[in-house]
Structure 1
């Protein structure tokens, strides 16, 4: 703020011309001091700030769904136990946030029996980060939590995966028996792999079983392809995330915890990574899936969302209410080995 510029006695003796000159100086001083700050955006918050305020305040140690929009704890609170979660955090840009918000706004009147509840904003309307899980919700004992974090830091440091980008691959509803909820999720893949797989087939909404349907038909994208499209279809969707997941799964199993995406048929979960954008208690019926596909396929919505990029520069470990950011090892080029 500019200091008040009082006129001197000599200026007052100069008459009307002196008064006008002084007023002009005051206006110029005020304009010069305030204009740059008024027109420039506020500087972004440092990344560490989000770690400090990533958890909500615990209002009860008992499992009271009334305090959480009817949701139930996957792991009930117990003294001496530390609910923990490993994940990748994504803070959508304002334009990305607007795209996803517009998608949900279009879905709500189209799905009155579902009414998806957004993960994009808090109860106060503030933007919230989204995440890609690298573990189930697990529970660590007090005696083990520090050792767990130390081992995790070492595993990530030696993973050989540098910063990379993810991209949405499709939209689908996913039901979990543990929570009794349905989740509207964006399935994601490595941006390089997604660009290559685009040669094989356009991406649409999934059938809830890890498969996608072609736009305008019901043929799954795992149908036979030829030439470059067949080669692209065989590429792994998530080489970086799969690497990190294997290390996280091995670590949680060492501490007696269940792994994530451990399939009996030998699959390693390469195609299962996703970002939840909304949830509902309603069952995702075939009619719900079809209606969601119609909204998602509207001109502009699908293409703009699938064109988004999600930067990944580290793994988050939330142990109790403490969040630790573990950076990926630096490399010369984003998402590629040197």
Structure 2
């Protein structure tokens, strides 16, 4: 996924340390001591391990560890003061929907065992972009202004599809929207206008709006398309009350920026 340029901060700690070191050095030719002072031997004592360990994690740019988040690879590096931001419509999963997913996932895992279920469900209205911290509130207020006139609407999602991110580092099984597409396009048009105001990346051309159900690391399209996709679609089509189950009311647009959530109810 594309991201806005990152702005980095340099630490002043190294400069202060250099200046302090220079201030403590004797002038050339002074013999290393002031006139009238006795020459005392200097000895450097080792820093205790307990003290060293106190500062082992104070680097400004923490190292990304993909093992801590399921092997996922960042599409842009973490940098202090930059907040990953995403706009979407939340999909509140009901018990029947989870029952359907409990049937779909084991079948898909016979083709790709490393698939895991999504923790939350949503339909994206933007790519993930980067906001500076001081932009967040103005950005959200602008987004609220653009969302103010939109009405709630129903949509259905029942066509199983396989997706990857742009970098082909993650693969998703999703349910594509089959009705309500025009309303989603109208929302994205307004979200894109906000992105342009802040110099950020707009959404994909000709987007496929969908609810992601499960994901895995890497490009697994070859294993999931074909026979697997056909079997998954048959499960959805034959699931009891699937037409009613997969018809959803879009009631709000949500913006997630870092660990902050902002909700914009539709009229």
| TM-score w.r.t. length of structure 1 | 0.56
Distance 1:61 1:318 in 2: 21
Deviation at 1:306, TM superposition (A): 4.7
1:246 and 2:185 equivalent?
no
Question: Which residue in 2 is equivalent to 1:165?
Answer: 154
Give 1:117-128 correspondences, 5 Å limit.
117-119=116-118, 128=119
Question: Which residue in 2 is equivalent to 1:54?
Answer: none
Query: Would you say the 8 A contact 2:108–2:224 is kept in 1?
Result: no
1:257 and 2:194 equivalent?
no
Give 1:245-324 correspondences, 5 Å limit.
245-262=188-205, 268-269=206-207, 272-280=208-216, 281-285=218-222, 288-298=225-235, 301=238, 304-307=241-244, 308-324=246-262
239-248 or 60-69: which moved more? 60-69
3-state DSSP of counterpart to 1:75: coil
1:139 to 115, 127, 130: 130
1:184 and 2:173 equivalent?
yes
* C-alpha spacing 1:300/1:189, structure 2 compared with 1 (3 Å): closer
Question: Which residue in 2 is equivalent to 1:25?
Answer: none
Query: Would you say the 8 A contact 2:100–2:236 is kept in 1?
Result: no
Structure 1, unpaired ranges of 5+: 1-59, 120-127, 191-236, 263-267, 330-338
Query: Would you say the 8 A contact 1:173–1:289 is kept in 2?
Result: no
3-state DSSP of counterpart to 1:285: helix
Question: Which residue in 2 is equivalent to 1:18?
Answer: none
3-state DSSP of counterpart to 1:174: strand
Query: Would you say the 8 A contact 1:88–1:133 is kept in 2?
Result: yes
Distance 2:185 2:225 in 1: 31
* C-alpha spacing 1:251/1:242, structure 2 compared with 1 (3 Å): same
Query: Would you say the 8 A contact 1:253–1:259 is kept in 2?
Result: yes
Query: Would you say the 8 A contact 1:168–1:305 is kept in 2?
Result: no
* C-alpha spacing 1:303/1:143, structure 2 compared with 1 (3 Å): same
Higher share in strand: 2
Structure 2, unpaired ranges of 5+: 1-60
**Cα RMSD after superposing both structures:** 2.2
* C-alpha spacing 1:166/1:252, structure 2 compared with 1 (3 Å): same
Length, aligned pairs only: 205
* C-alpha spacing 1:306/1:62, structure 2 compared with 1 (3 Å): farther
| TM-score w.r.t. length of structure 2 | 0.70
Deviation at 1:95, TM superposition (A): 1.0
* C-alpha spacing 1:241/1:177, structure 2 compared with 1 (3 Å): closer
Deviation at 1:179, TM superposition (A): 5.5
Distance 1:327 1:287 in 2: 36
Deviation at 1:250, TM superposition (A): 1.1
Query: Would you say the 8 A contact 1:114–1:282 is kept in 2?
Result: no
Question: Which residue in 2 is equivalent to 1:155?
Answer: 146
Deviation at 1:287, TM superposition (A): 6.6
Deviation at 1:169, TM superposition (A): 3.7
3-state DSSP of counterpart to 1:147: helix
**Once the two structures are superposed, what CA deviation does each residue of 1:145-199 show, in whole Å capped at 9, x if it has no partner?**
11101101110003xx311122114111112233511111110143xxxxxxxxx
3-state DSSP of counterpart to 2:263: strand
Deviation at 1:141, TM superposition (A): 1.2
Distance 1:75 1:90 in 2: 26
